[in-house]
Amino acid sequence: MTGHVVITGGGTGVGADTAHEFARAGYRITIMGRTEATLKAQDLSYQVCDVTDAGQVAAAFDAARAQHGPITVVVANAGAATSVPFAKMTAADLTAMTDVNLTGVFNVWQAALPDMKAAKAGRMIAIASTAGLKGYPYVAGYCAAKHGVIGLTRALALELANMGVTVNAICPGFIETPMLERSLANIVEKTGMSVEDAAKSLTKNNPQRRFIQTDEVAGTALWLCSDAARSVNGHTLTLSGGEI
């Protein structure tokens, strides 16, 4: 399977590595994100948009189609995580997490769906998290949003199964990305731990005692688009060293 793949959050980390992996496999690429400088640095076709804004997403997808044709694969990767004790959480904190991590997936999948229905083929992939399958302390909003992504994935997989479209979620543990660096800095600031001890506190639940690497996520996404994965639908592929 080849064609046109759209990857959100494509300027850095998992999104950028996934985009380059698909480009090496012969796909036409459009990356999307809010920051033009990081998108431009990838030397790939891009559209600037905020996934929480359905109008911006629709316009970005229209521009991507005009340049590279109908959407074959969509990888909903854009996300964010904030840490706060539940007792100090506000409704705005929860909304911020669901807006980008759940509504953002909804918006990009809706924008991609017409092309896939017309072709009777396609792949919808969400980069979710082990936080969509279990709880972690101090990130209740993030966990709630990622659990929502899993529910959306499973429901849509059944709805589209007879249309030749598969819908799956990749659920990594902590990935070594700029977002992880921010999380470690937050732990250091709030607890006084060293960076090394903060890292150990995050890897302790991974039986391999390590962070997941971006190439592991990118390779899994590419495999989901292979013919060998044509029956993989509604699945949550965990990349966690055995944690889940």
d(CA 90, CA 68): 42
d(CA 165, CA 173): 26
* Distances in whole angstroms, Cα of residue 117 to Cα of each of 4, 125, 160, 169: 15, 16, 9, 20
What is the Cα Rg of the chain in Å? 17
Q: Is 14 exposed, middle or buried (0-12, 13-18, 19+ CB in 10 A)?
A: buried
Q: Which residues of 40-64 are buried (b: 16+ CB within 10 A; e: fewer)?
A: eebebbbbebbbbbbebbeebbebb
* Active-site amino acid positions: 142
Q: Which residues contact 119 (CB under 8 A, 6 or more apart)?
A: 70, 72, 164
Residue with tokens 């996404």: 221
Q: Which residues contact 192 (CB under 8 A, 6 or more apart)?
A: none
Q: Which residues contact 21 (CB under 8 A, 6 or more apart)?
A: 215, 218, 219, 221, 222
